[in-house]
């Protein structure tokens, strides 16, 4: 059986990769994928602590996080499709032009 530290290290690496992706990428789809990676890293942490402590509170919370993430992905993808129909690009800098 693996120790909780191993799960936390993997979770920290996943969260760091997601954060770097959000801060450096310009494609909106890649940014959404990085946000999903960050949410999955947090879910891994919840599951690890839930198993370590012997209760299911973390697992229940992961269920709700996954539900919100699915809704966020659906709404985000719908917005990107609508934006792509108007501008034929999903570059984040082009989305910034909507403020004008």
Alpha carbons 92 and 37: distance in angstroms, whole number: 19
Q: CB count, 10 Å around CB of 87?
A: 13
Residue 94 belongs to a domain: no
Residue 70 belongs to a domain: yes
Residue 38 belongs to a domain: yes
**CATH number of the domain enclosing 20:** 1.10.287.3510
pLDDT of res. 92: 73
Q: How many domains does the chain have?
A: 1
One digit per residue, the tens of pLDDT, for the chain of length 100 reads 789 999 999 999 999 999 999 999 888 888 889 999 999 999 999 999 999 999 999 999 999 999 999 998 899 888 888 878 877 777 777 666 555 5
Q: Provide the residue range defining the domain that includes 82.
A: 4-89
Secondary structure letter of residue 98 according to DSSP = G
pLDDT of res. 99: 56
Alpha carbons 59 and 56: distance in angstroms, whole number: 5
Residue 97 belongs to a domain: no
Query: What is this structure's pTM?
Result: 0.82
Alpha carbons 11 and 43: distance in angstroms, whole number: 9
Of 20, 64, 73, which Cα lies nearest the Cα of 42?
64
Alpha carbons 76 and 27: distance in angstroms, whole number: 13
């Amino acid at each position: 059986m693996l120790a909780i530290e191993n799960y936390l290290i993997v979770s920290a690496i996943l969260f760091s990769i997601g954060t770097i992706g959000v801060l450096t990428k310009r494609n909106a789809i890649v940014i959404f994928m990085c946000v999903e990676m960050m949410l999955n890293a947090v879910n891994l942490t919840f599951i690890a602590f839930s198993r370590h402590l012997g209760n299911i509170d973390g697992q229940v919370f992961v269920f709700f996080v996954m539900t919100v993430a699915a809704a966020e992905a659906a709404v985000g993808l719908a917005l990107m499709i609508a934006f792509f129909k108007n501008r034929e690009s999903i570059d984040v800098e082009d989305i910034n032009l909507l403020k004008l």
